[in-house]
Amino acid sequence: MRLRPFSLGLTSPLETARGAIDRREGFLVAVDPDADGESAPAPGLGEATPLPGWTESRSACETALRGVRTGRDGGDAALADDATLADDALSRLDPAETPAARHGLALALADATARDAGRSLSSRLARGEGLPAPAETVPVNATLGDGDPEAAVTAAESAVSAGFDCLKIKVGARSLDADVERLRAVRRAVGDGVALRADANGAWDRETAREAVERLAPLDLAYLEQPLPADDLAGAAALRSAKTGTGADADPPVPIALDESLAARGLDAVLDAGAADAVVLKPMALGGPDRALAAATRARAAGVEPVVTTTIDAVVARAAAVHVAAAVPDVAPCGLATGSLLESDLAADPCPVSDGAVAVPSGPGLAGSAFDGLP
Ligand SMILES: O=C(O)CCC(=O)c1ccccc1C(=O)O
Ligand SMILES: [Mg+2]
């Protein structure tokens, strides 16, 4: 296994209620089972891009990856086959402790396996979960950071003219009054035909969140993401049934999506608490593409809508997340149109955004030859 560190700036910082994201640093992970000269499967490429708050720190990620041994270094390993060695290595990375490190290696191994089979990553992932053939395109939302109402309207209008019909807007960084005014201005500017999502990144207490759903209900949000702190599942469950008016004036409740709560409490706790209408699945935070798709399947079975997104990953992990989303039948718009937020990237994007959707690379593996030459 080889690691190559990278550091990529954002074109402009993504302003959220938990501060600005202005740079993404991580590691490309290459596995080359043929490095020892035996006839062996294809090489594979992965990416580990930690984001504290969602994953381990960069140094914990690096330490975990450098501690992994995938090669034949004597002992019992000399007798084991490649697949056993790979499974052993992967099982030493705890998805709860070092999800980004596990993502990096799991993706590299899954890419190698898919290449070996001559199939795309999404079709291998779908097969592993007993799902039908994956989609060829995935609908995506535009991602708009915090800003004043004029900036929000300008960004929303340019996203809509670029073909997006679903916008996700960060809230919770300013007063509720200011956020309500911004979202009203955006709704007025884009009309009723565009789906709006708002993401508070855990900014509000219960009282503010309740007031927020009351005042936002007339704007017909597709959902409000993480209104309350990650730990507060009971609060989120109560918010789902909060009244949004009285009698004939009542608007339908605002659907609640949870994101940070998954890393803090786990998917099972979120589903058991009845805390979410939708869950935001970040493969980097969940410990790998395989685990993200398994989570999507479990959420669906519980009647909760899965949405796949990233931690603003570089192109390798973004393409992997596109494959995960493609394997979810009829997936809702996903947060995968973030390539343009990066100043530069590790390679040309094999999943370009067009008309509010991204193309799913046909393979083999992650993206055929698109990443040849990496790391
Ligand atoms: O979902 C999207 O549209 C993009 C991803 C995104 O918003 C995000 C990116 C990095 C860290 C956290 C988040 C988030 O969803 O809260
Ligand atoms: Mg979020």
Residues 155, 61 share a domain: no
Note whether 61 and 97 are same-domain residues: yes
Compute the distance from residue 280 Cα to the ligand 1 centre, in Å. Answer: 9
CATH assignment of the domain containing 343: 3.20.20.120
Can you tell me the distance from the alpha carbon of 195 to that of 164, in angstroms, rounded to the nearest whole number? 9
Tens of pLDDT, residues 14-29: 999 999 999 999 999 9
Question: Is residue 129 included in any domain, yes or no?
Answer: no
Question: Contact, 223 vs 257, CB < 8 A?
Answer: yes
211 and 302 in a single domain? The answer is yes
Q: Does residue 203 share a domain with residue 69? A: no
**Residue 308: C-alpha distances to residues 27, 115, 166, 293 (Å):** 21, 23, 14, 9
Residues 197, 230: one domain? Answer: yes
Last residue of a domain, one of 118, 153, 169: 118
Identify the pLDDT of residue 75. Answer: 52
Judge whether 373 lies within some domain: no
44-48 and 19-31 beta bridge pairing: antiparallel
Q: 121 with 362: CB under 8 angstroms?
A: no
pLDDT one-digit tens code per residue, 271-310: 999 999 999 999 999 999 999 999 999 999 999 999 999 9
Q: Rounded to 10 degrees, what is the CA torsion of 190, 195, 200, 202? A: 180
Average pLDDT value for residue range 223-252: 90
Q: Domain with 49 in it: what CATH number?
A: 3.30.390.10
Q: Which residues contact 198 (CB under 8 A, 6 or more apart)?
A: 168, 169, 170, 171, 179, 183, 216, 221, 223, 224, 225
Residue range 130-144: average pLDDT? 98
Evaluate whether residue 372 is within a structural domain.
Answer: no
Q: Where does ligand 1 bind, in terms of residues with CB under 6 Å? A: 21, 51, 141, 143, 168, 199, 201, 259, 280, 309, 311-312, 335, 338
**Average pLDDT of the chain to the nearest whole number:** 94
Atom of ligand 1 nearest to the CA of 310: 5
The CA radius of gyration of the chain, in Å to the nearest whole number, is 21
Taking CA atoms only, the protein residue closest to ligand 1 atom 3 is 335
Place of tokens 């202005």: 22
**Same domain as 197, residue 299:** yes
Mean pLDDT of 316-339: 98
Residue with CA at minimum distance from ligand 1 atom 16: 201
Q: How many domains does the chain have?
A: 2
145 Cα: distance to centroid of ligand 1 (angstroms)? 10
Calculate the alpha carbon distances from 24 to 20, 49, 119 in Å: 12, 7, 30
Domain that holds residue 233: 137-359
Q: Is residue 123 part of a domain?
A: no
261 C-alpha to ligand 2 centroid (Å): 10
Q: Where are the beta strands (DSSP E) in 250-311?
A: 256-258, 278-281, 305-308
**95 and 153 share one domain:** no
For residues 306 and 268, give the distance between their C-alpha atoms in angstroms, rounded to a whole number: 14
For the CA of 16, the nearest ligand: 1
What was the pLDDT predicted at 188?
Answer: 98
Q: How confident is the model at residue 72 (pLDDT cuts 50, 70, 90)?
A: low
Q: Whose CA is nearest to atom 1 of ligand 1?
A: 335
Q: Which residues are catalytic?
A: 170, 282
